[in-house]
Structure 1
Amino acid sequence: NFGAPVIKEMVEEFNKTHPDIVVKEVYNPDMYPGLMQNLQAEVAAGNPPSLCMIGYNYIKYFAANFNYVSPQDVLDQYLPEDKDYLKNTFLDNVMSLAQVDGKQIGMPFCISAPIICYNPELFEKAGLDPAKGPETWDDIREYAKQITDKTGEYGFYMQEYADNWAVQGLLESNGANMLQDGKAAFATPEGIEAYQILADMVLTDKSGLHITADEGIQAFCNGKVGIACVSSAKIGTITQAAQFDVKGAEFPGFEGKEKRLPTGGNFIPITAQTPEEQKAAMEFLMFIMQPEWLSKWTLNTGYLPPRQDVAEDPNGLQAHIKDDVLLGVAFEEMQYLQPWAAYPGDMGTQAEQMFADTRDKILDGTETPETALKSAQDALNKMLEEQ
């Protein structure tokens, strides 16, 4: 549900305490690609929303193609008593997540990291230690094959949304780069080697599952998959739906190499058109950025809060981080987080769809990782030259 209950609660409480403003929440399917597609449709129809959630990977595309107003401009013009709100509330590096070339496009709202969830019951049936999760990608492949061989269930699933987020962590942790010096640079021996592991689990070992994200996550919750690589934003959904006690581990690494994980999540730009709506939108943003609501949002979803004080508050998340294994894993991984690769201009949606298509070609067995990655890299670099 990606936090729908908390969103509804936030909106209801805001509307109750701000009788001169009415906020209406609108659900959009298919994650961030779906949000972008629906935003384009609403703008084309002359009915843009006042606020929207935009994945960090689409920030350059959004900034180049949509009308928005900087939150600092709204504060300066309509809420001067709160003009220092941003610098007093958020760390500089967090604010930079929602910037393009130093310009503040919106406010960072959600931060997520790719984590490992596993089923200790299937581990035990497969003869694995349920108290010890996988640490490397070699472990992942070994554990997955053992689970499939011993139990008949799938050993591994990596979330498959219409983007490249989780795969970026896999490739870059082995030394590849999604973007380097303004060019796509992932079809290197390191990138190909990393993707080959995923392909081998699906095609050779028959231990890897290749289906859509919702189906794959549901299969894990139903006990049909031993290990799942998912966004920490799915912690709430998975723990509520799983028919077993879910265990967690950090995103796997490669021997002797530094982990580099993409920062998932979203920022919220103000797309309201009138001064009155812009002021109201900023008031709502400041309301939901209060520690009380960010704590509820994190506990319901697994998204990490953009405010450091939320995690450090003994009356807030501090105790939960200590007690919640999966949430603790996500916070530990913050040290490895890197920007989610964002392509400029009109390339954002095209690039993500190309990555999704590339994944399907590799995991369907129609193309090798080397062929598919080189083809995608060449196509992206040609598009970059035309920007």
Structure 2
Amino acid sequence: MKSRSKALAASLAAVGLVASLAACSAGSSSGKTELRVATFPPGADAAAYEAFAAQEEQFEKANPDIDIIGVEYEWEGPTFAVQLAGGSLPDVFTVPFTDSKTLLENGQLMDVTAEVEELGYADKFNPIILEQVQDADGNIFGFPRQAYAMGLHYNRDLFEQAGLDPDAPPTTWDEVREAAKAISEATGKAGFAQMSMNNTGGWQLTAATIAHGGRTQEGTTGSYTSTINNPGTVAALEFLHDLRWEDNSMGSNFLLDWGTINQEFAAGNIGMYTSGSDVYTALVRDFSLDPAVYGLTVIPLEGDDAGVLGGGDIAVVSPTVSEAEKAAAVKWIDWYYMQKLLNKDAAVLDAQTLVDSGQAVGTPVLPVLDQETYLESREWIADLINVPLDQMTGFFDGIFEQTPVGEPKGKTQEIYALLDTVVQAVLTDQNADIDALLTKADADAQALLDE
């Protein structure tokens, strides 16, 4: 794990590299189409940018008429709308599945139907995932680039310190609670932590609701009904209440979001938390996680209709770009995101470039393409996979036995924000009335859905 001084040096080096890339690009743009593309969140280490620089060079060599300019980017619910309205987003960026429907309905995404069809792999997409970027007429407004299933991430070192077997992670929520208590008592660290800010509390509460057999929303486009107050959501909140107030096993920080919970986990301050199965790459790349301490398993499922929340993100093109920029954007998305899933040479080149720069290859995801194509692409890079697969056995062995459930589609991020306050209330008020909180959340969510 990096020391603070080394991490700072890496961060400064990354900033310098980005600056030099931008300066080089700006200085060589005469007669070329400049394309601003999303790279990594602020704070990514220098190695990530070294890998991107190598990939940028590879792309520009194959496309000498296009000048790629990398832009730091991280999607966050509360700030994305401001960036979008202010025109500060890159020409190519990524958005979660949950935002894609609203954005395309508002005319804020570029229609790329003809381009995807011309590329010849529209029929290879998982139809459930492709539907996330299609309008009612089947037009396509982006490229699904990666998907995830919710997983239980855990610190193997803290498991061992608590006398737990890291190769036998919890399989029920009761076992998660028992392990959290053991970790907290043995180490003084948070045995289990929960996201609660910037829409992530609502996201994770929705995932826990589904894992307990509930659903927070029913209906179809134009006619959604909020069903937040259901036994699954109640069970999920009672679980958090008991860990917090009866076991005192959640530490002292109850205002965490995606970035801060990853930071705390990578620093060894959290025993377990739930998040997307693909977060390992960011943990290592952006938060300096020691791979040796990482463990991943499936989240427990309880209830007759229990499932695992799945999601992902989509590479999209700003609707304000010119026709030349649009053509360049599609070339970049196809080359940078898609070909490594479809073409052996591209897959090997991408994996080798990442390996050479010390980046993760083989992080567990859900395939955005058909399963045959996905498994074949894994075979192409089998010798280059460098993630600790033996520490992710619980996830790989169990994920295809779990029923995937998509995120609610009506006013998703706004309702996640409402649920943030519910999670925060349960974690900060021992006497919080869960039924009253959920009744109010249901009413507020329905008012949003009825707008």
Aligned to 2:95: 54
Letter in 2 for 1:290: Q
Aligned to 2:216: 178
Aligned to 1:341: 408
Other structure's SS at 1:340 match: coil
Higher relative contact order (CA 8 A, sep 6+): 1
Give 5+ residue unaligned stretches, structure 2. 1-39, 341-346
Is the 1:119–1:247 Cα contact (8 Å) retained in structure 2?
A: yes
Letter in 2 for 1:279: A
Relative to structure 1, the CA distance from residue 160 to residue 136 in structure 2 (aligned partners, 3 Å threshold; closer, same or farther) is same
The whole-number CA distance in structure 2 between the counterparts of 1:237 and 1:83 is 30
Is the 2:363–2:387 Cα contact (8 Å) retained in structure 1?
A: no
Aligned to 1:79: none
Is the 2:211–2:299 Cα contact (8 Å) retained in structure 1?
A: no
Relative to structure 1, the CA distance from residue 12 to residue 353 in structure 2 (aligned partners, 3 Å threshold; closer, same or farther) is farther
User: Given the alignment of the two structures, is residue 68 of structure 1 paired with residue 104 of structure 2, yes or no?
Assistant: no
Other structure's SS at 1:113 match: strand
Which sits farther off after the overlay, 205-214 or 7-16? 7-16
Is the 2:367–2:374 Cα contact (8 Å) retained in structure 1?
A: yes
RMSD between aligned residues: 3.0
Aligned to 1:135: 171
The whole-number CA distance in structure 1 between the counterparts of 2:107 and 2:360 is 29
Other structure's SS at 1:359 match: helix
Is the 1:115–1:329 Cα contact (8 Å) retained in structure 2?
A: no
Is the 1:362–1:369 Cα contact (8 Å) retained in structure 2?
A: yes
The whole-number CA distance in structure 2 between the counterparts of 1:268 and 1:360 is 32
State the identity %: 21
Q: What TM-score, normalized to structure 1? A: 0.84
Other structure's SS at 2:327 match: helix
Aligned to 2:245: 203
Relative to structure 1, the CA distance from residue 30 to residue 211 in structure 2 (aligned partners, 3 Å threshold; closer, same or farther) is farther
Give 5+ residue unaligned stretches, structure 1. 77-81
Alignment: residue pair count = 372
CA deviations over 1:11-67 (Å, ceiling 9, x no partner) = 34323321111222322345355444322321xxxx664322111111222122233
User: Given the alignment of the two structures, is residue 91 of structure 1 paired with residue 152 of structure 2, yes or no?
Assistant: no
Other structure's SS at 1:266 match: strand
Relative to structure 1, the CA distance from residue 177 to residue 131 in structure 2 (aligned partners, 3 Å threshold; closer, same or farther) is same
The whole-number CA distance in structure 2 between the counterparts of 1:30 and 1:285 is 18
The whole-number CA distance in structure 1 between the counterparts of 2:139 and 2:425 is 37
Aligned to 1:25: 70
Aligned to 2:376: 312
1:271 to 314, 318, 323: 318
Letter in 2 for 1:158: Q
2:329 to 263, 269, 281: 281
Relative to structure 1, the CA distance from residue 92 to residue 140 in structure 2 (aligned partners, 3 Å threshold; closer, same or farther) is same
The whole-number CA distance in structure 1 between the counterparts of 2:241 and 2:177 is 11
Relative to structure 1, the CA distance from residue 317 to residue 357 in structure 2 (aligned partners, 3 Å threshold; closer, same or farther) is farther
Is the 1:108–1:267 Cα contact (8 Å) retained in structure 2?
A: yes
Q: What TM-score, normalized to structure 2? A: 0.73
Letter in 2 for 1:93: I
Letter in 2 for 1:61: T
The whole-number CA distance in structure 1 between the counterparts of 2:447 and 2:439 is 12
Is the 2:307–2:404 Cα contact (8 Å) retained in structure 1?
A: yes
Is the 2:113–2:141 Cα contact (8 Å) retained in structure 1?
A: no
Is the 2:109–2:318 Cα contact (8 Å) retained in structure 1?
A: yes
